[in-house]
Amino acid sequence: MDFRTVTHTTNEQDHMEPPQMRQKQLSCLQGESEERDKGSTIESFVTNFSNIYESELLPARNGEEFTEHFLHEVVDILLSYIKKTYDGKSKVLDFHHPHQLLEGLEGFNVELSDQPQPLEQILVDCRDTLKYGVKTGHPRYFNQLSSGLDIIGLAGEWLTATANTNMFTFEIAPVFIVMEEILLKKMHEIIGWGECKADGVFSPGGSISNLYSVLVARYKRFPEIKTKGMAALPDIALFVSEHSHYSVKKAAAVLGIGIDNVVTVKCDARGKMIPSELERTILKVKRQGKVPLYVSATAGTTVYGAFDPLDNIADICEKYNLWMHVDAAWGGGLLLSRRHSFKLSGIERAHSITWNPHKLMGVPLQCSAFLVREKGLLQACNQLCAEYLFQPDKQYDRAYDTGDKTIQCGRHVDVFKFWLMWKAKGTQGFEILINRFLELAEYLYKELKTSKNYELVFDAEPELTNVCFWYIPPSLRQIPKGPEREKRLHQIAPKIKARMIEEGTAMVGYQPHGNNVNFFRMVFSNPATKKSDIDFLLEEIERLGKDL
Amino acid sequence: MDFRTVTHTTNEQDHMEPPQMRQKQLSCLQGESEERDKGSTIESFVTNFSNIYESELLPARNGEEFTEHFLHEVVDILLSYIKKTYDGKSKVLDFHHPHQLLEGLEGFNVELSDQPQPLEQILVDCRDTLKYGVKTGHPRYFNQLSSGLDIIGLAGEWLTATANTNMFTFEIAPVFIVMEEILLKKMHEIIGWGECKADGVFSPGGSISNLYSVLVARYKRFPEIKTKGMAALPDIALFVSEHSHYSVKKAAAVLGIGIDNVVTVKCDARGKMIPSELERTILKVKRQGKVPLYVSATAGTTVYGAFDPLDNIADICEKYNLWMHVDAAWGGGLLLSRRHSFKLSGIERAHSITWNPHKLMGVPLQCSAFLVREKGLLQACNQLCAEYLFQPDKQYDRAYDTGDKTIQCGRHVDVFKFWLMWKAKGTQGFEILINRFLELAEYLYKELKTSKNYELVFDAEPELTNVCFWYIPPSLRQIPKGPEREKRLHQIAPKIKARMIEEGTAMVGYQPHGNNVNFFRMVFSNPATKKSDIDFLLEEIERLGKDL
């Protein structure tokens, strides 16, 4: 289908159209046209949307046919995009700078006006939005921990959008509330918490889930925080590792604890928190007169994919009576793999856990679970009993009104796509997927280890799907290791990345970390990625970087 | 289409099927079947999904046809639901208690298993999920401030799900980042802030937007909060009205300020904050040695739909150097109506504003804007400069990486559906819509005023679409006003609501408020609602309640 590009034609067009034209359109929609037999495909029976406006869609009288046909057109655009996404030969993106997008590209004007645009323009806008976006499901998109486009998850999200409801009460989201309970129970079981006691909530992302962990830990120890604020508390301290995600610090800033009270614990070369360093740091903080409250251990760090030694950390938390949180936003999925779950051994001793199914498990964005071992704590910490939502005289069991557990009021339905994917894959389907991601990481690791053009940031078999490396262009290969080489090496990854984005052939992340200058971080969480895509990426990095 | 209900048959079924069967399915999918001419509809060319699993969808080799056909089946289910939603004769919901849903209904089993389910079961589950849910777009769904199902917004959400990306960087969400900027600028213009200086972010709901307002207000006055926490601050106080939303109190609990430091200001009978009371309360708090920091005025209260006198409140905020926030989550949409926008006069003097397009403007959930007048404050307050996301050596203007403005890391794309609706409706389309909601509220108000069976909670023309009233059943009509009557009246609305839910004929909220016992709160934000639906609701309340 080819839609003419219609821009700014609204004023010149007559909103009313001749009755016979409308009639023809309707007959096409109803599938009654005799033209059908002339060997044309279904797609050729298009309505001309150039004179039709959204006001003629449902709930407009007789809007059913236009609505149906319009949504089918949208779906055709989406299907075409999905196919392109999975086609390794297509580009990952067609890069334009912010000012170019703001100024408007051919037929694509992002400005808003007082006048309505015809549906044809809306369809063009949909196509252009996808055209100038990034195909995060493309087999060569390795840019973030979340990638891929699961078809079942996608269907789930389409349904969620159509249901258009809110998680605050059972009353208006009965099925989704029950699904949230089922999913939380399942995750508790897998963690090893048993199914009855634990609690939790799906939140808008891992950072908010980590914020919940500090919030609940603080409330558990000092329930007066809720009414009196931090003024009633002693100076508290939180502990994270050097390699932990920045969200715990962000939570400390938000919660009025202050970033200075988040104490960083040293890691080993592999990026794992050193338990003896944790203990040393706790004792040091105590000597300073602060009250150690909370440790966030990481199961799958963002950059290195490292797993902190959870059992050792749990021992220390028990010894000093600290809340133990495990940020398994990225690595939590490994619990579904019988081959790899041992890496999270000890997670069952945590008081709370962040686990993002939108990462390793491939659920569409967003889907993040905050799980807490003590039932009722979330509710006690956050409830304010707003009477307009949580009426005490409802006819059903009000324990299913989850809104008062949360720091939100309205809450997006993030569970259905996850539930549907679990139905469609079964637990075993997730296991197969995750094992394959690990195999891809091992393959890349071995390729890099035997290549003279690359250096690994740390030489160890991947524990998660992260593989960190430098590309060493020919110009740097003869320079001895030292500040001069480091300085030049630091510029290589950004330059290659910039060229890669300009060409749109692949996307991979880079960053400096600690003493390590800019290096690439590959991660695998995309079911579409094959070994040949890894081969391509390495060749592409060389192609783009060999003259640097 | 009728799908056989397939439950737990995975183990007994052979995953491999005879080649000729697969061949037949594929030929149907490709539209090559000669059966097409036999007068059957498109819908009859269905694949038999009973032996097909998600592992055969994309990215599986040759998965294109199955994927396309599966998604078309899903869309058919959704279209059928959409049509039912708009059909006033259909039920709003088919109520079941939590335990009934958990135990499983005919063919609908919410439990998850290790084994995958065939796609046919997945389609059945989709239909059942909708069947046992609540039609929030139904013309007789009046339960929450968000209602309706805008077709363009829905299409936008389907596209958003398909694009499956994240708002933290321009790199992976270039078009959506630019659209967010355009929408924020447009909202600033409408508020009267001018387009260049203001700032903001779309957040996961009004409560989080209100939390941002306190966070930013606190940081502006006491920037040391970020590093040192509340320990470095004097005792601060926040001011809200009796009728304000509970989210400011929730924010105070989360942010370590404490609910006790949120001071409630009295309202008049209409639910508007009394400015002289605000000033009196500020002075009282100062005498107690606390530092007044922040006032949240409400433009459209949750229950009464009242507008606080913003100009008077702004005068007081200026006088005492307080941050002025306006919670226009519900009423913000009125700014688009030339007839009604005067009710928010003075909003341009606010330092920050919450405005939820997912309420009065009918954007699908979720879509909430937090707007702040001083550019750069959000970034300064929240940034932590994580190097793995916000690399300083990117090739594009990094001001477009918005992730460090927020308390989240990943952030759902909530802007596209809103942008697309604005394109399709134009500003004038929103105005028409919102004016009509107000007309419906006026119609209901007049109906109630002339009816002997109803009493208004406050007798005043609606300023927003809220209309609050009691139904007085015959048994209460002769009882003089007093505690006995109040006690009995308090039970009427919950009983009628319970019956209404059991019958599924409509949904309307109720609550007590202050000294007023349980009353119904009608709100209009659904484009499908007509005057006849209002007539229906009043008759239905009488039918269900006349024997009480």
- Domain locations in chain B? 19-135, 166-414, 422-545
Q: What is the pLDDT of residue B443?
A: 98
Q: B184 and chain A: CB distance < 8 Å anywhere?
A: no
**Which residue from B207, B394, B409 is facing A247, i.e. has the nearest CB?**
B409
Average pLDDT over residues A513-534: 97
Q: Which residues on A lie below 8 Å from B96 (Cβ)?
A: 174
Sheet containing A262-265, strands listed edge to edge, beginning at the edge strand earlier in sequence: A199-203, A368-372, A352-355, A323-327, A291-298, A236-241, A262-265
Tell me phi and psi for residue B381, to 5 degrees: -65, -40
Q: Which of B164, B169, B330 to mutate: most A Cβ within 10 Å?
A: B164
Q: B99 and chain A: CB distance < 8 Å anywhere?
A: yes
Q: A403 and chain B: CB distance < 8 Å anywhere?
A: no
**Res. B502: pLDDT tops 80:** yes
CA distances from A515 to A228, A262, A264, A490, B170 (A): 42, 21, 16, 11, 27
How far is residue B329's CA from residue B338's CA, in Å, rounded to a whole number? Answer: 19
Burial of residue B319 (CB within 10 Å: 0-12, 13-18, 19+) is exposed
Q: Which residues on A lie below 8 Å from B9 (Cβ)?
A: none
Tell me whether residues B125 and A174 touch, CB distance under 8 A: no
Smallest CA–CA distance from A244 into chain B, residue: B386
How far is residue A67's CA from residue B82's CA, in Å, rounded to a whole number? Answer: 9
CA distances from B251 to A139, A370, A389, B347 (A): 41, 19, 18, 22
Entry field: residues in chain B:
548
Q: Which residues on B lie below 8 Å from A206 (Cβ)?
A: 409-410
**Res. A30: pLDDT tops 80:** no
CA distances from B165 to A133, A144, A202, B365 (A): 9, 10, 19, 17
**Which residue from B133, B391, B408 is facing A175, i.e. has the nearest CB?**
B133
**Which residue from B410, B416, B423 is facing A206, i.e. has the nearest CB?**
B410
Closest CA to B87 of A59, A309, A198: A59
Tokens describing residue B229:
């926490």
Q: B59 and chain A: CB distance < 8 Å anywhere?
A: yes
CATH 3.40.640.10 describes domain B166-414: yes
Class of domain A166-412: alpha beta
Q: What is the pLDDT of residue B175?
A: 98
Q: What is the pLDDT of residue B39?
A: 37
Average pLDDT over residues A421-439: 98
Q: Which residues on B lie below 8 Å from A254 (Cβ)?
A: 215, 254-255, 407
Sheet containing A467-471, strands listed edge to edge, beginning at the edge strand earlier in sequence: A141-142, A507-513, A516-522, A467-471, A454-456
Using pLDDT thresholds of 50, 70 and 90, give the confidence band for residue A216. Answer: very high
More confident residue, B18 or B290: B290
Whose tokens are 């890691």? That residue is A267
Q: Which residues on B lie below 8 Å from A72 (Cβ)?
A: 75
Q: A34 and chain B: CB distance < 8 Å anywhere?
A: no
Tell which A residues from 272 to 301 touch B, by Cβ distance under 8 Å. Answer: none
- Taking phi over 0 as left and psi of -120 to 50 as alpha, with beta for the rest, B461 belongs to beta
Burial of residue B321 (CB within 10 Å: 0-12, 13-18, 19+) is exposed
How far is residue A319's CA from residue A503's CA, in Å, rounded to a whole number? Answer: 55
* Inter-chain contacts counted by CB atoms under 8 A, chains A and B: 513
For residue B278, give every residue at least 6 positions away whose Cβ sits within 8 Å of its Cβ, in sequence order, or none.
B239, B265, B295, B313, B316
| Helix B119-131 × helix A151-163 angle, to 10° | 10
User: Above pLDDT 70, what percent of chain A?
Assistant: 91
Q: What is the pLDDT of residue A195?
A: 56
First and final C-alpha spacing in chain B: 44
* DSSP secondary structure of A130-156: HHTSB-TTSTTEESSS-----HHHHHH
Pairing of strands A262-265, A291-298: unpaired
**Res. A499: pLDDT tops 60:** yes
**Res. A8: pLDDT tops 80:** no
- Taking phi over 0 as left and psi of -120 to 50 as alpha, with beta for the rest, A412 belongs to beta
How far is residue B469's CA from residue B384's CA, in Å, rounded to a whole number? Answer: 50
Tell which B residues from 212 to 241 touch A, by Cβ distance under 8 Å. Answer: 215, 225-232, 235
**Res. A478: pLDDT tops 70:** yes
CATH 3.40.50.300 describes domain B422-545: no
Average pLDDT over residues A183-202: 90
Smallest CA–CA distance from B130 into chain A, residue: A163
Tokens describing residue A166:
């809110």
For residue B333, give every residue at least 6 positions away whose Cβ sits within 8 Å of its Cβ, in sequence order, or none.
B355, B357, B359, B360, B361, B430, B434
Cα atoms in the 13 Å half-sphere on the side-chain side of A459: 6
Q: What is the pLDDT of residue B33?
A: 38
**Which residue from B161, B396, B527 is facing A158, i.e. has the nearest CB?**
B161
User: Above pLDDT 90, what percent of chain A?
Assistant: 89
Q: What is the pLDDT of residue A290?
A: 98
**Res. A39: pLDDT tops 50:** no
User: Above pLDDT 70, what percent of chain B?
Assistant: 91
Q: What is the pLDDT of residue B88?
A: 84
Average pLDDT over residues A272-301: 98
C-beta of residue A199 within 8 angstroms of C-beta of residue A186: no
**Res. B153: pLDDT tops 90:** yes
Smallest CA–CA distance from B244 into chain A, residue: A386
Using pLDDT thresholds of 50, 70 and 90, give the confidence band for residue A46. Answer: low
**Which residue from A58, A255, A366 is facing B412, i.e. has the nearest CB?**
A366
**Res. A31: pLDDT tops 70:** no
Q: B166-414 with B422-545: one CATH topology?
A: no
Q: What is the pLDDT of residue B405?
A: 96
Tell me whether residues B232 and A258 touch, CB distance under 8 A: yes
Predicted-complex ipTM score? 0.93
C-beta of residue A425 within 8 angstroms of C-beta of residue A433: yes
Determine the distance in angstroms separating the CA of B314 from the nearest CA of chain A, rounded to an integer.
26
Q: Which residues on A lie below 8 Å from B155 (Cβ)?
A: 70-71, 74, 122, 126
Tokens describing residue B329:
């989550």
**Which residue from A225, A246, A512 is facing B384, i.e. has the nearest CB?**
A246
How far is residue B201's CA from residue A331's CA, in Å, rounded to a whole number? Answer: 29
Q: B443 and chain A: CB distance < 8 Å anywhere?
A: no
When the pLDDT of each residue in chain B is averaged and rounded to a whole number, the result is: 92
Determine the distance in angstroms separating the CA of B336 from the nearest CA of chain A, rounded to an integer.
10
Write the pLDDT tens digit of every residue in B90-134: 999 999 999 999 998 988 999 999 999 999 999 999 999 999 999
CA angle B180, B182, B186 (to 5 degrees): 115
Smallest CA–CA distance from A142 into chain B, residue: B172
Q: What is the pLDDT of residue B46?
A: 57
How far is residue A338's CA from residue A120's CA, in Å, rounded to a whole number? Answer: 51
* DSSP secondary structure of A259-300: GGGEEEEPB-TTS-B-HHHHHHHHHHHHHTT-EEEEEEEEBS
Q: What is the pLDDT of residue B195?
A: 56
For chain B, the C-alpha Rg in angstroms (whole number) is 27
**Res. B534: pLDDT tops 90:** yes
C-beta of residue B75 within 8 angstroms of C-beta of residue B43: no
Q: Which residues on B lie below 8 Å from A211 (Cβ)?
A: 407
Using pLDDT thresholds of 50, 70 and 90, give the confidence band for residue A6. Answer: very low
Q: What is the pLDDT of residue A452?
A: 94
Q: What is the pLDDT of residue B106?
A: 87
Using pLDDT thresholds of 50, 70 and 90, give the confidence band for residue B28. Answer: very low
Q: Which of A30, A134, A435 to mutate: most B Cβ within 10 Å?
A: A134
